[in-house]
Structure 1
Amino acid sequence: MINKWLFKHIDNSALILFRIFFGVLITLEAWGAIFTGWITRTLLEPQQTFNFIGFDFLQPLPGNGMYFYYFLMGVFGVLVTIGYKYRWSLSAYTIMWTCVYLMQKSSYNNHYYLLVLICIFMLLVPANAYFSIDAKQNDRIRSLSTPRWVHLFIILQLLIVYTYASCAKLYPDWLDGSVPELLMKSKKDYWLIGDILQEKWTHVTITYFGILFDLLVVPLLLWKRTRTPVFIFAIFFHLFNSIVFQIGIFPYLSLAFCLFFFPTQIIHKRFKLKKEYYDQGEVKVPSKSGLMKAFFITWFVVQISLPLRHWFIKGDVLLTEEGHRLSWRMMLRSKSGISTFKVVDKNTGKTTIIKKGDYLSKKQLRTVSTKPDVIWQFSRRLKQEYAAKGRDVAVYVDAKVSINRGPYVSLIDSSVDMASAEWDYFFHNEWILLPEER
């Protein structure tokens, strides 16, 4: 029964169109990073990037290397769009994008992580089986259908993303509208809508519409009666996010996902596709179906588990950041911090207060005052720098953070030598202060 449910073939028009939209969007993501100055600000201006811990070997290419890197990514995006050497092109884009994602955290965005996941998904599916150069050159891959699991996979992945995004907003500072108010204050100079964004009713609307949209959008898109009106709401919602928060391709990628919810007839009619319908409903169980099902189970167990892990780590994730990443905790709070790094020579006792501006870009200055993992990395790099000069030093950090413009509280145990402290990947790091320890 489960084989019939997963491997029954359905029309592949939604997947083929999604590949085209996806290819265009990842091309724009790559080339847009060049022309908007993102590469310069994030990868070239800093002396070093703060990579995901364990990936120190991933550093920006010297000179203009990152411009060529992103240009090449864009070329691979074009090849994905037209379906030429599809798997090779998308594999290259996926590897390159993942490397940049792991390379830096100062411009961390959950949507970058989602793009990694969707790239992997698109590598698994026959998205080049039609409307592609590959299909024209090789009749063996040409097909009008795709297994049903393709649609089920993307719908379940979206359900996980949106549900966790909604649940994460269920805390006092969001529910009373103070977080949306803080987020909108920085948008007051926006042309035409700046004043509207400062209105109380706008903050209340964002507060509850954000929760309800994320929680209900996938179920309501699955229901025929609500599909069209919810899609119209989705257009407004994602365009609003695009204009106000300027979060790259994600709003448009989210709209492209809606293709998987609409019937084939509607897709053909709206896009005027000159393509045959596939309605045979043939069940084609692959020889390695057991391995595929094991992969799917593992994938979704991981996707469901990762956003829950902060509940098993001591402390408030809003402050400690432990369990924050890879958890769809999007635009939840405003966080500011102040920090002082003190280097003490173990032999002479000489103390040096670090001028962070000599080491860090403007964006990194904020990150190194609010993110414990970055504080830990910067401390170790200071130790390495002094070690290269033949000096054995300890690094002590006094860091205070404020959540949603609340009172500043101590974040790091200032008595701990952060240059010698260990990093715990899975549980609480004891040098991050909890309320009872402050």
Structure 2
Amino acid sequence: MGPGCCERARAWSRQRVDASSLVILRVFVGLLVCVSALRFVARGWVDELLLAPSFHFHYWGFAWVQAPTPTLAYGLFAVLAAASLAFAAGLRPRLSALTCLLAFTYIELIDLSYYLNHYYFISCLLATFVLLPPVPDEDARVSQIQLTLVRVQVGLVYLYAGIAKIGADWLVYAQPLKTWLARRADLPLVGAWLDEAWLAHLASWSGLGFDLLVVPALLWRPTRAYAYVAVVGFHVITGLLFPIGMFPWFMIGCATIMFAPDWPRRFMARDRTPASTPIDPRLKQALTWAAGALLLVQIALPWRSLLYPGSSLWHEQGFRFGYRVMLIEKVGFAEFRVHDRATGRRWKLDPHAELSPLQVKMMSTQPDLIAQYARHLAARLEREMPGSAIEIRADVFVAFNGRPHHRLIDPNTDLAATREGLAAKPWILPAPTTHPP
């Protein structure tokens, strides 16, 4: 890199931009997190998903996160709602963002089977806001670097969602959209079209193009208005057709960060957001570097799936935390076979006896969850039957992106003896070689 490039980079890093677009984003995110918390309580999901199950699947390295008591659970959601409103209003933004981050992420970590890409995205965005609060400095501006880091954070969702769609299932066979759209064929007016193969192929290719091109189109002024209309249309349609929760509304709000930094000025008679409290420049620089490091981790994590042989859509090793959105349609059946070596007794266990319907659904298609539950079963049975020596094997069959059911787990492997970790799991059988219909 020549001296001219270095000088231009230094000049760019010293630029100051209007803070109002970050302020509006803060309001969007704070209000939507509040709505999400209230929605979770109103729909009874606190009891159904967090309190009712006697067993929760943990994230690797986070087995210490325990399910809360009812009082703590509802208290967490109350704190989350209050802190998100404070964050939206700009009250102690770093502290309110930190409170949101801790409460939201704790709730997220309670059960791995409930993992969603947008939960991960919100946690990362809140972490960025803790490091670099989205409030103006005394000159009503922020650094160009701060705005760029937030833009990259939002843009990663679209970029990696697009990259993940580059594959035969999505582009050649239009799966899983073909399956999902056909299920909505009973809708009035448009239902007959949703069952047409050509529409699934058109939607698949359009989705790929949208994900890869929408961020550049939003950043470029001549195409910005058209791109945002596409953002709203795309997310409203997907939100209506598919059960993806609050994700479409978050992205509609977050996409505005790609507009010109001063775009809200024309709608704001006067900016009432209080200026941020000045901090030591060296500390601010360190926090900026930390926010950049957080982005680098997110940029690197999706590529770890290349370290595992076979299709990550099938074995799902390295699949999470990669913003791989709406790529898999899986239906699975799992039955656990128990062998007590001490007595020679053999019997079968149905996971429905202990897990919630949603836990069973998610566990039955994800190998690491299947092994985690097998280890739990073995430990539980050995506690209940002192002197026993339990082995757990599983018969797991999964239908994947329109293909017929295929065995997922080696039925001869004692899953109770497997170890948790990031190493490749040889007991996951290869993906089926048949093509989707």
Is the pair's TM-score, using the shorter chain for normalization, greater than 0.5?
yes
My pick for the range that moved more, 111-120 or 383-392, is 383-392
My pick for the range that moved more, 2-11 or 363-372, is 2-11
Are 2:65 and 1:58 aligned? yes
- Over residues 199-238 of structure 1, what are the superposed CA-to-partner deviations in whole Å (9 max), with x where a residue is unaligned? 4443233211110010001111111111111111111111
State which of 39, 42, 64 in structure 2 corresponds to 1:32.
39
CA gap of 1:396–1:5, structure 2 versus 1, over 3 A, is same
- Over residues 292-320 of structure 1, what are the superposed CA-to-partner deviations in whole Å (9 max), with x where a residue is unaligned? 56435533332221111111212211111
Q: Give the structure 1 partner of residue 84 of structure 2.
A: 77
Q: Report the 3-state secondary structure (helix = DSSP H, G, I; strand = E; otherwise coil) of the residue aligned with 1:315.
A: coil
My pick for the range that moved more, 53-62 or 12-21, is 53-62
Are 2:265 and 1:268 aligned? yes
CA contact (8 A) 1:48 1:59 kept: no
Q: Give the structure 2 partner of residue 224 of structure 1.
A: 221
**Which consecutive segments of 4 or more residues in structure 1 shift more than 4 A?**
189-196
My pick for the range that moved more, 343-352 or 177-186, is 177-186
State which of 385, 392, 397 in structure 2 corresponds to 1:395.
392
Q: Report the 3-state secondary structure (helix = DSSP H, G, I; strand = E; otherwise coil) of the residue aligned with 1:305.
A: helix
CA contact (8 A) 2:19 2:262 kept: no
Are 2:310 and 1:315 aligned? yes
CA gap of 1:74–1:297, structure 2 versus 1, over 3 A, is closer
Letter in 1 for 2:268: K
CA gap of 1:40–1:371, structure 2 versus 1, over 3 A, is same
Question: What is the distance in 2 between the residues matched to 1:296 and 1:193?
Answer: 45
Q: Report the 3-state secondary structure (helix = DSSP H, G, I; strand = E; otherwise coil) of the residue aligned with 2:317.
A: coil
User: How much does 1:73 deviate?
Assistant: 0.9
Are 2:371 and 1:364 aligned? no
Q: Give the structure 1 partner of residue 3 of structure 2.
A: none
State which of 384, 395, 413 in structure 2 corresponds to 1:416.
413
CA contact (8 A) 1:341 1:395 kept: yes
Alignment root-mean-square deviation, CA: 2.4
User: How much does 1:266 deviate?
Assistant: 3.6
For structure 2, the residue ranges without an aligned partner over 5 or more in a row are: 1-6, 273-278
Q: Give the structure 2 partner of residue 138 of structure 1.
A: none
State which of 196, 203, 207 in structure 2 corresponds to 1:206.
203
Letter in 2 for 1:300: L
CA gap of 1:93–1:290, structure 2 versus 1, over 3 A, is closer
Are 2:374 and 1:379 aligned? yes
Q: Report the 3-state secondary structure (helix = DSSP H, G, I; strand = E; otherwise coil) of the residue aligned with 1:326.
A: coil
CA contact (8 A) 1:259 1:267 kept: no
CA gap of 1:365–1:38, structure 2 versus 1, over 3 A, is same
User: How much does 1:197 deviate?
Assistant: 3.2
My pick for the range that moved more, 79-88 or 427-436, is 427-436
Letter in 2 for 1:402: A
Q: Give the structure 2 partner of residue 279 of structure 1.
A: none
Are 2:114 and 1:118 aligned? no
Letter in 2 for 1:120: A
User: How much does 1:108 deviate?
Assistant: 1.8
How many matched pairs? 417
Letter in 2 for 1:87: R
Letter in 1 for 2:369: V
Q: Give the structure 1 partner of residue 134 of structure 2.
A: 127
Letter in 2 for 1:310: S
My pick for the range that moved more, 40-49 or 222-231, is 40-49
Question: What is the distance in 2 between the residues matched to 1:288 and 1:26?
Answer: 28
CA gap of 1:99–1:275, structure 2 versus 1, over 3 A, is closer
Q: Give the structure 2 partner of residue 12 of structure 1.
A: 19
User: How much does 1:261 deviate?
Assistant: 2.4
Question: What is the distance in 2 between the residues matched to 1:110 and 1:69?
Answer: 21
CA gap of 1:265–1:412, structure 2 versus 1, over 3 A, is closer
Are 2:56 and 1:44 aligned? no
Question: What is the distance in 2 between the residues matched to 1:68 and 1:285?
Answer: 35
Q: TM-score, normalised by structure 1?
A: 0.88
Q: Report the 3-state secondary structure (helix = DSSP H, G, I; strand = E; otherwise coil) of the residue aligned with 1:263.
A: coil
CA gap of 1:200–1:406, structure 2 versus 1, over 3 A, is closer
CA contact (8 A) 1:342 1:397 kept: yes
CA contact (8 A) 2:161 2:325 kept: yes
Q: Report the 3-state secondary structure (helix = DSSP H, G, I; strand = E; otherwise coil) of the residue aligned with 2:415.
A: coil
Q: Report the 3-state secondary structure (helix = DSSP H, G, I; strand = E; otherwise coil) of the residue aligned with 1:69.
A: helix
CA contact (8 A) 2:80 2:103 kept: yes
Question: What is the distance in 1 between the residues matched to 2:354 and 2:341?
Answer: 22
Q: TM-score, normalised by structure 2?
A: 0.89
Letter in 2 for 1:18: L
CA contact (8 A) 1:423 1:429 kept: no
Q: Report the 3-state secondary structure (helix = DSSP H, G, I; strand = E; otherwise coil) of the residue aligned with 2:306.
A: helix
Q: Give the structure 1 partner of residue 161 of structure 2.
A: 165
Q: Report the 3-state secondary structure (helix = DSSP H, G, I; strand = E; otherwise coil) of the residue aligned with 1:14.
A: helix
Question: What is the distance in 2 between the residues matched to 1:42 and 1:300?
Answer: 30
Q: Give the structure 2 partner of residue 145 of structure 1.
A: 141
My pick for the range that moved more, 221-230 or 2-11, is 2-11
Q: Give the structure 1 partner of residue 94 of structure 2.
A: 87
CA contact (8 A) 2:83 2:100 kept: yes
Q: Report the 3-state secondary structure (helix = DSSP H, G, I; strand = E; otherwise coil) of the residue aligned with 2:113.
A: coil
Question: What is the distance in 2 between the residues matched to 1:49 and 1:209?
Answer: 38
Q: Report the 3-state secondary structure (helix = DSSP H, G, I; strand = E; otherwise coil) of the residue aligned with 1:377.
A: helix
- Over residues 218-276 of structure 1, what are the superposed CA-to-partner deviations in whole Å (9 max), with x where a residue is unaligned? 1111111111111111111111122222423322222222332222554222x234249
Q: Give the structure 2 partner of residue 430 of structure 1.
A: 426
CA gap of 1:188–1:143, structure 2 versus 1, over 3 A, is farther
Q: Report the 3-state secondary structure (helix = DSSP H, G, I; strand = E; otherwise coil) of the residue aligned with 1:370.
A: coil
CA contact (8 A) 1:42 1:106 kept: no
User: How much does 1:107 deviate?
Assistant: 2.4
CA contact (8 A) 1:413 1:433 kept: yes
Are 2:352 and 1:352 aligned? no
Percent of aligned pairs with the same residue? 28
Q: Report the 3-state secondary structure (helix = DSSP H, G, I; strand = E; otherwise coil) of the residue aligned with 1:414.
A: coil
Question: What is the distance in 2 between the residues matched to 1:394 and 1:411?
Answer: 19
CA contact (8 A) 2:331 2:399 kept: yes
- Over residues 329-356 of structure 1, what are the superposed CA-to-partner deviations in whole Å (9 max), with x where a residue is unaligned? 1110211112220111111110120022
Question: What is the distance in 2 between the residues matched to 1:230 and 1:173?
Answer: 27
